[in-house]
Amino acid sequence: MQPNLVTFTCLINGCCKNGEIGSALKLYDEMLQQKLRPNVFTFNAFVDGLCKNGMVERADERFERMQEVGLEANSVVYTSLIDGYFKGGV
C-alpha cells in the first residue's frame, strides 16, 4: 500500500518539527514521484518547520512555490511566516 497525501504531509510535518529538513525534502520528492500534488497543509508544514528552525528565507521560498502552483495561503501559513520573520529578525 502506498502512502497518500495525508500520510506524506504528516511525515513531512514531523520531520520539519524535528529539524530534519533534508528528510522532509526527500519525502516531498517521493510524494511528487507518486504523482501526489501537495496541498496548503503540506506547504504549511514546510513553512512552519523552516521558520521554527531559523530558515526563514527557505520558508519564504516554499511560500512562493505554493503560490506558483496555484494554492492560496491560509491564516496558518501567514502566522508561521510572521512568527518566523519576527523571531528571525528579517
- Run means of pLDDT, 10 residues per run, the chain, 90 residues: 93 94 95 95 95 91 94 94 82
CATH assignment of the domain containing 55: 1.25.40.10
pLDDT, position 2: 86
pLDDT, position 88: 74
Listed residue (20, 68, 88, 36) closest to 45, CA to CA: 20
Using H for helix, E for strand and C for coil, what is the string for the chain? Answer: CCCCHHHHHHHHHHHHHCCCHHHHHHHHHHHHHCCCCCCHHHHHHHHHHHHHCCCHHHHHHHHHHHHHCCCCCCHHHHHHHHHHHHHHCC
Range of the domain at 75: 5-88
Specify the number of domains making up the chain: 1
